[in-house]
Structure 1
Amino acid sequence: MEASKLGSFFESFHVGDVIEHSLSKTIFESDNNLFSLLTMNHHPVHLNADYASKQHHGKILVVGTLVFSLVVGITVPDISGKAIANLNYESVNHLHPVFIGDTIYAKTVILEKRESKSRKDSGLIKVETTGFNQDGTDVLKFTRTVLVKKAQS
């Protein structure tokens, strides 16, 4: 039996590579409720079916930061499993609403790669990740820079 691999070393990333992440998650009502409670986001459009039915989308919306957190998590085995740190997140764009019962998938493009100036044992990768639903509709897109360990230092 082969041990599971968590993440890749800096040397494994190549600019232009597209990673289609194998993890996915269907968002259940309990996920949305718990996340809303944990993060103190009690807006009724996320928790009150009657209220949400009278709003623009006509049903409960999943909290946007839950979608963001989920997509980041989906990428961990492939992108940041060997990371020393996520240095920044930028350009977080919510592209389409997410509803209870949607299944979220993700893919990542390697945008940039460079040696770390301050740490000889690591390098930086800049990636753009897109989260999409079961219909292939993009729901979220963001970029981030990750400090990743080298296999050889």
Structure 2
Amino acid sequence: MTPIPETPDDVTQGKTVEQRGLWFEEYEVGTTYLHRPGRTATEADNTLFTTLTMNTQALHLDAAYGAETEFGERLVNSMWTLSTLVGLSVAQLTMGTIVANLGFSEISFPAPMKAGDTLYAETTVEDKRESKSRPGQGIVTLRHTGRNQHGDVVAVAVRQTLVKCAPAS
């Protein structure tokens, strides 16, 4: 990560706080974080994400096709939902403290997202342990749950992350 120049002393008046995620030691198993604000999916989001990722599924791109499905309209690409679900957690949990995303052990989409739906994210810390091979780092297992504006679960993702331990004081 490229260091950002510090603010000159003549500009800073008092205490400064830099936004960051949690150090490994700050994660507590069983704690749930609610990430706000949510993110409303637009037709433009869906079309752009779908075309950028070369996903030519008509259910995401073709309004006439979508109208003929059981949903009656196009659906938001579930990979957009997954990416946004994880993204909504970054500022609160992993900004500047994550080393790597190690992988996902579970991903499900119990209900679809449609353009105009708002995705709200919450993350529960399921497990954590110090890394055996990387001193100063730990593995944290996170369960991300996405709900729409009605409270319906639209996505669940369990992932493991490699996180930095707090710097020595």
Give 1:24 shift. Answer: 1.6
Map 1:27-42; keep pairs closer than 5 Å: 27-42=41-56
Q: Which residue, out of 86, 104, 108, partners 2:119?
A: 104
Amino acid at match of 2:78: G
CA distance in 2, matches of 1:56, 1:3: 50
The total of aligned residue pairs comes to: 153
Runs ≥4 in structure 1, deviation > 3 angstroms?
1-4
- Compute the TM-score of the two structures, normalised by the length of structure 1: 0.95
Q: In the alignment, what sits opposite 1:80?
A: 94
Greater Rg by CA: 2
- What TM-score does the superposition give when structure 2 sets the normalisation length? 0.86
Distance apart, 1:2 and its partner CA: 4.0
Residues in 2 aligned to 1:78 and 1:143: alpha-carbon distance in whole angstroms: 17
* Cα pair distance change 1:95/1:4, threshold 3 Å: farther
Amino acid at match of 1:124: I
**Percent same amino acid at aligned positions?**
37
Deviations 1:62-118 (A, max 9, x none): 001010001010011122221000111121001101000000011011111111101
Unpaired segments of 5 or more residues in structure 2? 1-14
In the aligned structure 1, how far is the partner of 2:16 from the partner of 2:150?
34
Cα distance change of structure 1 residues 63 and 16 upon mapping to structure 2, 3 Å threshold: same
Cross-structure match for 1:7: 21
Distance across 1 between alignment mates of 2:44 and 2:17: 32
SS in 2 for 1:139: strand
TM-fit CA distance, 1:142:
1.1
User: In the superposition, relative to structure 1, how do residues 138 and 113 fare at CA in structure 2: closer, same or farther (>3 Å)?
Assistant: same
> What is the aligned-residue RMSD (CA, Å)?
1.3
**In 1, Cα distance between equivalents of 2:18 and 2:119:** 23
* Residue of structure 2 in register with 1:47 after alignment: 61
Report whether the alignment pairs 1:138 with 2:157.
no
5+ long unaligned stretches in structure 1 = none
